[in-house]
Chain A
């Protein structure tokens, strides 16, 4: 009789097996769910606890020092304030605002962390007189100030690949009124729910069913944050499920305050060309030129209202819709008791209060490009786009403005649409590159000719060649011959250089040959020893481009960029002291901890007395030489400079300096075609247009006890009378003063 128990046994075995499978299945499901939650949690960890957002690195201009007697007009200061997004008001300003008070200006400077020093917000009244600051007064204490540093302009940012821009707020920086408004408009149960609000979902479902389309959302702020931070905007069931679980994990793991702060920093508010503005802090800066803590009720209502549809409620493209939305938010605020009746009605009547136009994105691309190149040895592009570094540079927005206006005006002289340009302006005493353009269209972000275009420099080489020649036997008064010369090159070919005017000018002083940029005397002297010295001197400043030196180098066939030319002239203008040209002064991290400093460097590479003689010859160029135009245009000023023209007038150069500024201008075509402009007829004119707008002080030669000054006749280098009209006053080493006398003719 065994079959019965067997069947029973088999039945219970199957039951056990089924139970077992169910158990295993349940275990598998629970494990899968746990893995799924773990995965979601992992996603949250990756973003919420690490670097939640990619923060663009900001590049700052130099901080404008304000002090009595500084040459600065009120209009220039206003230009700088406008670039810094300061708002002009008629009432008493708050931080980030200024007002006109008679002829003076009252500025409420924003607080700023300079890295080594934190500067509090300060209300300062600035008085002007005849193009200068005549006084500074602290408006609160009525005390006169000797010095005040204006926080610097942001000249650009390095954006992440997703092209998002934001300013982050810490938990304690989010204004309460903003939180209350957000909650009132977007999620009234925020402080009660645990990530999901079943009531809101039910309400939204009923409303949507009634309307026959999606008219209301039931997502909580936490769900919206989860979607924005971790998920795609597509409307699928899976995405909704992920969103719900992520919202719950967020609620379990983080405080309400941390969640609302993250929301305030993450939310997309505005599109500015290719850049998406996220977070209320940056949107507030862009729209109202105000920090988020200084917003008025109507501003706040607009910002919160825009969250529902940044494109639909864009106040620039749809101002009426934006006003309606803002007023709806104001109504909710009033109904929820966040506003009194009076405040509500005055906010309803207020205009939108937005800026006329959003600021441009990176309006100084060539300078920003150079900063990036100089940063690249320490920071990758990805780091620059994510880490929110603060890069402090020497950029001078006022100088840049004059450069751009002057260049546009200068190029307008020539009807050559294909004529390209590169200009660099530097403070040669400390190496600061203060302004730069790399294209005739100054805000064009493409090929940066100031750094990348390597072009022959022509006679711009002559000052360093002159330095290389002066010494034991040669002075500025030495007699040289401008006569034809034939040189056999290493390949056997004959090189027969000529003067630009194709004339021969006979015997003259070395000074005279330099001032008129005659080629032949310099080739003559160069091949008898000067070439090697020139190569050595170029190597000292790391500008010797070839291992082999060749005679045509004496006439500037070496190619350089405007940036390299600027470095060469920095040493010449600075009495032989080499200071590396730089844009960057320091870099801090997002928390203002200094990461890097670029110290002021100074290396004595050349002899000062000899360099002074070169400088004097360069002044001669601007007085009555190839750049004599400067003496006509700026008769009261002393300048030093040198023109450069290359074969068939393909490149037009001028490099010149005043008491502080070194400006190098290059003109040419990208296809290297002739431009029919010499250094004198092209670059020099543009240089003058820029410098006229900028204004400058005369270049003065440093005093040097080893030199004595004498009047000579430039035609023959002989000592002549002071009263002689053709005489020039030149410096000589005390043991090399010319002895020959010359008549005044």
Chain B
């Protein structure tokens, strides 16, 4: 049975659409209350941190693990809640066969990046490698 397209129906559809879009947007970006950490702000890209992360990854590729750790600790000092810096530190420790440290850094990375699916899956992939045997 065909539905008559009335102005009232159009209005309802429009309102529902607006509401659903608003709801969808509000799920991942639910504004924090005044006591909570604003993830979007604390994870903002900071250029020196990105530069240090890149230098660390280059050092890691060159198997200069200590140098990579140095870069990442500097990055963490500048922006301690950057979950990716902790992840890269975990990666460095994995490559350097320091597995306990690797696991500890994954845990810390997850605590800052629970909203970041890419990060969580990167940590999930890394975790079994840091549990040899």
Contact = CB atoms under 8 A, between A and B. Distances in A.
Contact of A575 (B35, B39, B77, B111): B111
Given A602-B107, A700-B35, 7 more contacts: A67-B47, A585-B73, A601-B101, A619-B35, A700-B38, A700-B42, A729-B33
B132 interface: no
B114 A703 contact: yes
Nearest to B101: A599
Contacts of A147: 47-48, 51-52
B78 interface: yes
Interface of B: 32-39, 42, 46-48, 51-52, 66-67, 69-70, 73-74, 76-78, 80-81, 89, 101, 104-105, 107-108, 111-112, 114-115
B33 to A, nearest CB: 6
Contacts of B108: 577, 602, 604
A599 B37 contact: no
A638 interface: yes
Nearest to B59: A116
Contact of A599 (B34, B46, B69, B111): B69
Given A602-B108, A616-B35, A638-B34, A116 B114 contact: no
B37 A709 contact: no
Contact of B104 (A114, A602, A660): A602
A702 interface: yes
A656 B104 CA distance: 26
Interface string A693-737: 000000011110100010000000000000000000100000000
Chain B interface main SS type: helix
Contact of A729 (B35, B76, B77): B35
7 contacts: A67-B48, A585-B73, A600-B73, A602-B104, A604-B104, A700-B36, A700-B42
B81 A577 contact: no
Contacts of A146: 47-48, 51
Contacts of A173: none
Given A116-B66, A430-B77, A702 B35 contact: no
- Most interface-central of A62, A65, A432, A600 (chain B CB within 10 A): A600
Contacts of A585: 73
A577 B52 CA distance: 24
A434 B67 CA distance: 23
A577 B81 CA distance: 13
- Most interface-central of A430, A575, A700 (chain B CB within 10 A): A700
A116 B55 CA distance: 13
Contacts of B33: 709, 729
Chain A interface main SS type: loop
A729 to B, nearest CB: 6
B114 to A, nearest CB: 7
Contact of A703 (B34, B39, B107): B39
Q: Is the interface on chain A under 10, 10 to 19, 20 to 34, or 35 or more residues?
A: 35 or more
Interface in A111-128: 114, 116-117
Interface in A62-85: 62, 65, 67-69
Contacts of B73: 430, 585, 600
A483 to B, nearest CB: 31
Contacts of A153: none
B36 A703 contact: yes
Contacts of A729: 33-35
A117 B37 contact: no
- Most interface-central of B38, B42, B77 (chain A CB within 10 A): B77
Nearest to B89: A600
A616 B76 CA distance: 25
A67 B78 contact: yes
A592 interface: no
Contact of B76 (A430, A594, A700): A430
A274 interface: no
B47 A429 contact: no
Given A575-B111, A602-B104, A701 B37 contact: yes
A19 interface: no
Contacts of B48: 65, 67, 146-147
A4 interface: no
Contacts of A619: 35
Contacts of A602: 104-105, 107-108
B71 to A, nearest CB: 9
A624 interface: no
A585 B51 CA distance: 22
B89 to A, nearest CB: 7
B58 to A, nearest CB: 13
Contacts of B104: 601-604
B76 to A, nearest CB: 6
A557 interface: no
A660 B81 CA distance: 10
A609 to B, nearest CB: 11
A701 B105 CA distance: 20
B80 A660 contact: yes
Nearest to B105: A602
Contacts of B46: 67, 69
Nearest to A66: B48
- Most interface-central of B34, B36, B42, B80 (chain A CB within 10 A): B36
Given A146-B51, A602-B107, A638-B35, A430 B80 contact: yes
